[in-house]
Amino acid sequence: MTKTGRAMFLGSMAEIFIIAVLPVLSRAQLSIRPELIVMDMMTDQELVQEVYVTNASSALKEIWIEAEYRWQGPVTDELSAWVQIIPAHFILPAKQGRTVKVKFLKNAVTRKGESHFFLFARENLYQAVHLNVRTGIPVFVRFNRGVKPKGEIHAFLKKRADDGTWHFEAQIKNTGKMYLLPFGLAGLDDPAGRRVWFKEVRLRQPIPPGQMKSVMWQLPPEAAVKGGKISLELFWGTLYGMDQGKIKSRKASTIITW
């Protein structure tokens, strides 16, 4: 995954990495790093990923490390059959941290595809009511490579605002079996076919398999050319970098009129 794509993904997904029912200050006292794990794994491989759990509070904490599926993909077994957490339960003193190993066992998956789960650090708080606080990171694992991203530009919409700014939206559907981070180039050609304006476009968060998200951009009034053609050309980006090139036969275009 490129640094730019990773940064944009992390920024847009930050809200769902922390699940809690306490004020923000309490959530910040327990953390797990790195912020994202992306793994490429073959059937005969056994891999180990280290994460670091930190207790920033002034009190000792009892911590549990848990894993939960978000997208099972080609995996038919429970997570515990191919993911081991060592240790999964420990006491963490105040202002300290420790390393936890996440072991991915070999021979767990023979098919091609991608699995997505969250790795959570959890503590129990006993106050007026019993509260669970969890902070987590997403984990993406691609098995045996070879899976080709698939998708389509489902719709290409346009709207002109009162100030003359054009707003464009391309609805992109993921019809494949792995998460996608599409990016591409929107361009404006004048009636003579000359490129007079262009803009890089990309999604702020990945599209899960079977779902649809929109990429949006604006054309400023001073760049608009009556009778010009706005076009969009997308490339498949994935969490593992750019895969398999352009979307075949999926260019979209529309004529600017007012």
In CATH terms, 151-255 corresponds, of 3.40.50.720, 3.30.70.270, 2.60.40.10, 1.10.10.10, to: 2.60.40.10
Q: Decide if 239 contacts 38 (C-beta within 8 A).
A: yes
Residues of the chain with CATH 2.60.40.10: 17-143, 151-255
178-210 core/surface letters (b: 16 or more CB in 10 A; e: else): bbbbbbbebbbbeeeeeeebebebbbeebbbbe
Tens of pLDDT along 137-184? 999 998 888 788 888 888 989 999 999 899 999 999 999 888 988 888
**H-type helices in the chain, by residue range?**
3-17, 24-27
Superfamily (CATH H level) for 17-143: Immunoglobulins (2.60.40.10)
Gap between the terminal Cα atoms of the chain: 41
Q: What is the pTM of this model?
A: 0.72
Identify the bridge partners of residue 141 per DSSP, sorted by sequence position. Answer: 39, 115
Residues in Cβ contact with 47 at an 8 Å cutoff, skipping those fewer than 6 apart: 39, 41, 103, 104
Tens of pLDDT along 16-53? 333 333 333 344 689 999 999 998 889 899 999 999 99
Tens of pLDDT along 97-124? 999 999 999 887 788 888 999 999 999 7
